[in-house]
Amino acid sequence: MDDERVIEGDGFHWDCSQRTRIMGVLNVTPDSFYDGGRYWDPLTAVRHGQRLAEEGADAIDVGGESTRPGAEPVSLEEELRRVIPVIEKLKDRIEQPVSVDTRKAEVARRAVSAGARMVNDVSGLTADPDMAGTVAASGIPVVIMHTAGTPRDMQKNPGYRDTVGQIVEWLDARIEHAVARGIRRSRIIIDPGIGFGKRLSDNLLLIRSLASFRKLHRPILIGPSRKSFIGRVLDAEKDDRMEGTAAAVALSVANGASIVRVHDVREMSRVVRMTDAICKARQE
């Protein structure tokens, strides 16, 4: 078993060396960059989460605060109002684990009580000083993502001397912080943060160089789905970025991703299955 691709938590075990996992995106927000407002109603959100599970998602990531470039933060009370009813209903209707996409420790704590089995923190445990301790106490896996700044200002003037090296170093430090706060290493997933404080060239280079992150010995999650860097390369609006997303997903898997976070689960699960088959092919 390849330990760097294994994720373990209380009641949770994924061996991603067997196959790449799919995380389906479920935004319960009015302003997310692609699906904002589509699943604003809790029952509509739950039905969409069920559909993503049926289409092949291995986990559903529920978010109640948009983290698109320029987004304003929402209050704790509003974020709880958005996500908790959806998590409570969805976890009873699907077999797959529900993840909560949040930067707030109290949202994470309440989401876990409601049935969430993973935390996805786009701030890399930096936004809330209580997040690491909350995750450690919960015993569930956590995604630690790299970002530069906050969603409100992260795209104003990003820049790196050594994009890959600096982000690897930053994630390494955040892993050690998490471990020092009581999070078991086997519960940590890393994400280089495509689109979060990155230039076009940075996003492309990160996907091409994803294998460099394997030195951190933790499963890699990547979320290129329909993002603006694809639009800039293809001169395509957000509704016309399926093929670009497929290319980014396939190369990410080939270069070492263990989990891909996507909006279009049915289509991208096929891309992942085909890429896995090619990458694992052996002479008979």
| Residue pair 84/121 in contact by the 8 Å Cβ criterion | no
pLDDT band at 40 (very low <50, low <70, confident <90, very high): low
Residue-wise pLDDT for 133-149, tens only, equals 999 999 999 999 999 87
Determine the Cα–Cα distance for residues 257 and 189; give it in Å rounded to an integer. Answer: 11
Residue-wise pLDDT for 86-119, tens only, equals 999 999 999 999 999 999 999 999 999 999 999 9
Determine the Cα–Cα distance for residues 32 and 225; give it in Å rounded to an integer. Answer: 13
Q: How many other C-beta atoms can be found within 10 angstroms of the C-beta atom of residue 273? A: 15
Question: Which SS3 state, helix, strand or coil, does residue 144 take?
Answer: strand
Determine the Cα–Cα distance for residues 140 and 160; give it in Å rounded to an integer. Answer: 33
Which among 190, 208, 221 is positioned nearest to 251, based on CA atoms? 208
Residue-wise pLDDT for 189-216, tens only, equals 999 999 999 999 999 999 999 999 999 9
Catalytic residue among 91, 261, 273, 280: 261
Which among 200, 105, 122, 143 is positioned nearest to 21, based on CA atoms? 143
Catalytic residue among 109, 110, 226, 227: 227
**CATH 3.20.20.20 is the classification of domain 20-279:** yes
- H helices, E strands: number in the chain: 9, 10
Q: How many other C-beta atoms can be found within 10 angstroms of the C-beta atom of residue 278? A: 11
Q: How many other C-beta atoms can be found within 10 angstroms of the C-beta atom of residue 276? A: 16
- State yes or no: is 227 an active-site residue: yes
